[in-house]
Structure formats: C-alpha cells, structure tokens
Chains A and B, each alone.
Chain A
Amino acid sequence: MATKRDLNINVHHMTRVEGHGNIVVDVKNGELKKAELEIVESPRFFESFLRGRPWDEAPYITSRICGICAVGHAQASINALEDALGVVPSEQTIKLRKLLFNAETMQSHWLHVFFLAAPDFFGAGSALELVGDKPEVVKMALRLKKLANDLGDMIAGRKVHPIAMKVNGFSILPSPQQLRDMRERLVAAREDMATTVDLLKTIEIPDFARETEYVALALDDEYAWISGDIRTTDGFHYDVHDYLKVTNERAVAHSTAKHCAHNRDSYMVGALARYNVNHEHLRPEAAEVAAALGLSPICTNPFMNSVAQVVEGVHCLEDSIDLIDQFLRDGLEEEPRDVSFRPGVGVGAAEVPRGILFHEYEIDDTGHITRANCIIPTGQNLANIELDLRALVPQVMDRDKEEITLLLEMLVRAYDPCISCSTHLLNVEFVD
C-alpha cells in the first residue's frame, strides 16, 4: 500500500533555523515528484552594493550578512583584503584569530546542538519547554554558550559584528588578568563537556546514510579554520584562489535555486565535512569523544553533523586553553597595523561554523571595491540537502505524515542551515 501513497508536506517558514526557508515534498502514487528546501529569505544584494565602497569598509559591511557567523564573514573578508593588499599578519594576530574562531565555533555549535536541534530529540517545541523537565541541562547549555560569547567578546570587543578585528591585527588586546580568568572558566567547562557527551550518548541519532563528497579547508599539521587549501574526500586539492572550480554554481532543472557541485551531484560542507577531511588533526580529547559517540571517518550520515559539532566543541575548548597558555607564557604585545595600499584581487576563505566560506574582492587603484563575490556554506549544502531529502523520503514512506515531517525537519536542521547568508540563493515561487 505504502508504495502507492500520496504525500504532500509543506513546512512553511521552518523554525529553529537561522533565516527563512520552506520544506516542500510531493509524492504522487508512491512516486517522489519533489523534495526541496526553498529559500524565502529577502535578497540583500551585498555583492552589488559593496561596489564603490572603500576597501576597509568590507569587513564592517559583510559581517552584517549573518549574525551567527559574523566573525567568520569578517575573517573571510579580512583574508581576502590581506590577500589583495599583500599583508602578512603576525603570528600573534593569527593565534588571536584562531582563539576567536574557537569562540565563534563553540557559540554557534552550542546554540545549534542545545537550542535548535535538541528539542527534536526530547519532543519539545523549544529549549524553554525543557526548563521544567531538565533545568540543569538548560542551565548548563546557557553557561557553555555564555562562556563562548564572553571569550569572543574578550578578543573582538563584541562577537556579533566584531569591533576589534582589523586588517593586519586587532584594535584591542586582552589583559593578562582577562586571560587568566578566562582560562579558569574554560578549564571548569571540561566538566560540562563531559556531561554533554554523556547526554548525547542517550540520544538516538536517526539511521540514514548517503555517500557524498565532503569539502573543507585543510592544513598538513592542524585542524584548519582560517587558512589552508581546499581538500575533498574524493581526493581533490585546490588552492583557495581556485575556489570557483569547487563551487561550480549552476541552475538546475527541478529547482530555481542555484546549486553547487564538484565531483558528484552535490557536496557537503560543515562540521561533518571538516571531521571527515581533518579528523587526523583533532586534539586527543576530541578524538576520544568522537570514538565514544560512534563517529568515525568517513561518516556519511548527515544527522551526525550535530555529533561532529560536539566533537569540534571539545577540540575548540582544549585548543583555547592551549592558546591562552601560550599568550600567558609569551605575553601579548601591541603591534603596528600599518597597511600599504595596492590595487588587486584577493580571495579569502574560512571555515565558519556551517562550513567553508569564500569572499573575493577586486579593488581598483583608488582603493574602491569594483567587484565582490561571497559564496556561503548553506548555499553549497543546498543540493546535498535536497538529495538527502530525496533519498530519505522513500525509506520512511510507510510512517505517518507527522513523523515523516519531523524527520525531514530534523534532517534539514542537522545541517544547521543559515539562510540569512543566502546571498547566492534564489527565491522560489511555488504552487501548492
């Protein structure tokens, strides 16, 4: 009977994701006609209105693409500008940026794992509904999130739309006292991390797998966040300047949204992709957690993205303690941030919480931007999400509609989509 079924699912403005999107699934006579994630966010035209702006405004403006990964956009923007201007930042600046990225990654991952994804696993509509049932968990989640935010504020002045991040350095430096206080809190958070891992062991991650290509920034000797080249689990390797060879944005027949594809029909970016590409460089504490939670390379279950986020959270916590120890040992010094201007083209990439992000600018000889391109992680994941939806629906067709809808929402949410960033995603007119 199930094979002849009609099923029409339309989740309008799905909740607990960043930005506005709809899931539309149409099954006629047991045949899947349509499975799409439609992007209904207003277009914002950043790439168009960056034209004519002086180059130094780009990080201020582009961080406003996204509230959650504002630091990531600012960093990709700064990387692109430093590439264009031939600026080589100091070792201290690079370490501070890594510490700041740890803060952003933890903040974003905790928000997603505890507040956006977890309610599904506990059958609640929001984390607030869990307060009555599991007050300690909610308080712990808030504590971890606050710690990540405070770490970000300490370095960038403010994590949502950073103030102190500049081309060639930072406009403020944390004091030794701030570093010591922060170190103490990070060390104390190890206990909360252990609790989180134990909690995750009690959750049943949906059983689903689909082979695909995973793409991430990579370095030979460490887990890459703010530099490196592009590597994929299909064995490809590119300099970031060749990012367009990976993203290959194209229009597709079944959807009006542009999709990205490289060696297959789609690829995935984000925590799971980073884990699949870079797992050898995880800190030992994080590798242990991965093993304890059943995450092993190459993992092809997208629902495991939330688990990969927890693994990365442990990695970032340990890495932050290490970096702060280095700052306390070596001291932080004010460094000159002089930049000598030259016209040119620059490409910047960064592993923001949801995956690899690219910014490219062309700057003319008057110092104004003449062309800009931003390719964001959710845009790159869109084709992969839809292919997952198409693979998952037939496998669960015999369940009731409510259950299927929840599962599809959970699948999309597992990607932690950030729809506000949709500078390259197309709006869809659709008929019910």
Chain B
Amino acid sequence: MKPKVGFFSFTSCEGCQLQVLNMEEQLLDIAGAIDLVTFREAMDPIDSDYDIAFVEGSISRESEITVLREMRRKADVVVALGACAASGCVNAIKNRFDSEENLREVYGDAARYYDTIDARPIDQVVNVDFYLRTCPITREEFARLFTSLLLARRPYDPNFAVCVECRMEENVCVYDMDAGEFCMGPVTRAGCGALCPTYGSSCIGCRGFMDQANFDSMVQVMQDHGMAREDAVNRLKMFNAALPEAEEVK
C-alpha cells in the first residue's frame, strides 16, 4: 500500500515546499509513489490522516506547538523539511533580542496583537525521525531521503565537514584565495555538495554544525582573515542560533 504523505508548514519562507515543486522531472513519479493527502501550497486537502509528515518551518508561536504535537501523534515518521525545521534557520536570530523589543521594532503600536516565542527547530518540541537540513533543501537530498523511506532504508545523513565535499568538487579553498569571503565549511555539516563554495561564494553554515566542531579555531581563522571577533561569532550563529551547540560559540 502506498504511504499517505502530508506536507506541513510553520514559520518559514515556504522555499523548501517550493523546492519539492521544483523537482519538475521527478514530480509526477513522486506523486505516483505515494498517496499525497495534503500540501497546502499546491493543493486542496484530501485527507487528514497520514503516515509520513514532512514538516517545514520553525516553531515560533505557542499555537504552533499544539499543532506540531498533533502531527507527531498522527504520523509514523516525521521529517524535518529544511533548515527552519532542522536548526531554526535565520528565524532564530531574533532570539537574541527580547520579544517585546522585536514586536515594537516591527509592529509599533499594533504589537499587542502578536503571539511570538523564541524560534526553535521542531526537535525541541517533538521527536524527529529524519532531517533534510539545507536552506533551502536541495532536490537531491529530498530525492535521496524519499527513496530511502520508500525502501525502508536508513537515510544518508553525513556527519563530517562541508570541506570534505568541497575538496571532492575540486574547489580551491576560499581562505587560500583570500577573496574577502568567510567560509564556515570547516564546522558545517556536509550533505549539500558544497554548493556555495562551488558557485564562487562561501559556506554560510545553513546545514547546522557537525559533531565535535572546533568553534574556537573557526572563529580564529575568520579573525585571521580580517573579520571582527563579534561578527565571526554572529556569523556562525546566522542559521544556528537556536542549536544547543551555539552556546559554545563565544
């Protein structure tokens, strides 16, 4: 029997759902292999029951906690769909200011209408079975995980630095070129194929940290290449402010 699959979205840009819709060549095959019951961005809902929940977005309101717990209760498998759900993404930058201040800055007198809490990845609220980590998810990582789920195989989720993939792409190290870029590949979890360095930019750390990352050394390298210490620390937290490891970045 085909698994019933739902796509859900909390605080996010919905770019990860869009990346799924952007898999034009595989989209009809994907839809054919499953029983797609809900995908609000693209369809009217068919069913409220599902086996696999792809959850996009961070949790940043009390009301979202209740909805997410309900999803966890219904689904056999919960997948974090992209950086907002997996690590908190840029949503969590706001956590360094207090909520009152954020509300006042953006909404002024109307601030009283808002419900907002510190933005957090979904695994700080419920158990998460699998992670798609890139901002936005790559079409390749979605296809890889989707196939693994259908075949009941353990999905690939590397736990080494982006630098490994960057070398495999035969890129010259951003720091060797001294092009004014500040790459966070050495502490960032691989799995994207080192996309940003490959396109002449530098890793901005969107996939979260690998285990045993050496943050002190990373900050030192960025300082050695001309970045102020405080900016280096903030850069490391640009996508990762809500992760527990971020406490170690000082």
Asked whether A and B interact, the reply is: yes
Q: What separation, in Å, do the CA atoms of A258 and B21 have in the docked complex?
A: 32
A357 within 8 A of B: no
Q: Interface range on chain B: under 10, 10 to 19, 20 to 34, or 35 or more? A: 35 or more
Q: Mark B182-220, 1 if CB is under 8 A from A, else 0.
A: 000000000000011011110010000000000000000
The segment from A51-59, A208-216, A318-326 found at the interface with B is: A51-59
Task: List, in ascending order, chain A residues with CB within 8 A of B122's CB.
Answer: none
Q: What separation, in Å, do the CA atoms of A119 and B180 have in the docked complex?
A: 48
With A49-B102, A164-B200 as given contacts, are A16 and B89 in contact (CB-CB < 8 Å)? no
With A48-B106, A57-B235 as given contacts, are A158 and B195 in contact (CB-CB < 8 Å)? yes
Q: Which of A31-62 contact B (CB under 8 A)?
A: 42-49, 51-54, 57, 60-61
With A51-B105, A161-B135 as given contacts, are A43 and B116 in contact (CB-CB < 8 Å)? yes
Nearest-Cβ distance from residue A226 to partner chain B, whole angstroms: 20
Task: List, in ascending order, chain B residues with CB within 8 A of A15's CB.
Answer: 40-45
The residue that B43 contacts in the complex, of A44, A128, A170, A427, with Cβ under 8 A, is: A128
Task: List, in ascending order, chain B residues with CB within 8 A of A387's CB.
Answer: none
A131 within 8 A of B: yes
Q: Mark A53-73, 1 if CB is under 8 A from B, else 0.
A: 110010011001111101000
Whether the Cβ atoms of B41 and A18 lie closer than 8 Å is yes
B223 within 8 A of A: no
A88 within 8 A of B: no
Whether the Cβ atoms of B89 and A42 lie closer than 8 Å is no
Whether the Cβ atoms of A429 and B201 lie closer than 8 Å is no
Whether the Cβ atoms of B231 and A44 lie closer than 8 Å is no
A232 within 8 A of B: no
Question: What's the tally of chain A residues with a CB closer than 8 Å to chain B?
Answer: 65
The residue that A68 contacts in the complex, of B14, B25, B27, with Cβ under 8 A, is: B14
The segment from A142-150, A193-201, A287-295, A342-350 found at the interface with B is: A142-150
Residue of B nearest to A165 (CB): B201
Task: List, in ascending order, chain B residues with CB within 8 A of A251's CB.
Answer: 109-110
Whether the Cβ atoms of B12 and A420 lie closer than 8 Å is yes
A256 within 8 A of B: yes
Whether the Cβ atoms of B40 and A66 lie closer than 8 Å is no
Whether the Cβ atoms of A131 and B199 lie closer than 8 Å is no
The segment from B70-78, B90-98, B123-131, B147-155 found at the interface with A is: B90-98
Q: What separation, in Å, do the CA atoms of A44 and B136 have in the docked complex?
A: 17
A157 within 8 A of B: yes
B85 within 8 A of A: no
Whether the Cβ atoms of B44 and A125 lie closer than 8 Å is yes
With A54-B231, A67-B136, A146-B24 as given contacts, are A61 and B15 in contact (CB-CB < 8 Å)? no
* Leading 4 A-B pairs by shortest Cβ distance: A67-B15, A126-B43, A171-B200, A157-B199
Using CB atoms and an 8 Å cutoff, list the residues of chain B in contact with chain A: 9-19, 21-22, 24-25, 27-28, 31, 36, 39-46, 57, 60-61, 64, 89-91, 93-94, 96-97, 101-103, 105-107, 109-110, 113-116, 135-136, 195-196, 198-201, 204, 231, 234-235, 238
Q: 5 interchain pairs (CB within 8 A)?
A: A48-B106, A66-B15, A68-B18, A157-B195, A424-B106
Using CB atoms and an 8 Å cutoff, list the residues of chain A in contact with chain B: 13, 15-20, 42-49, 51-54, 57, 60-61, 64-68, 70, 111, 115-116, 119, 125-129, 131, 138, 142-143, 145-146, 149, 157-161, 163-164, 166, 170-172, 251, 256, 258, 420, 423-424, 426-429
In the complex, besides A42-B11, A127-B43, A426-B114, 9 extra interface pairs with C-beta distance below 8 angstroms are A20-B40, A43-B106, A46-B90, A48-B102, A68-B15, A146-B22, A163-B196, A164-B200, A423-B106
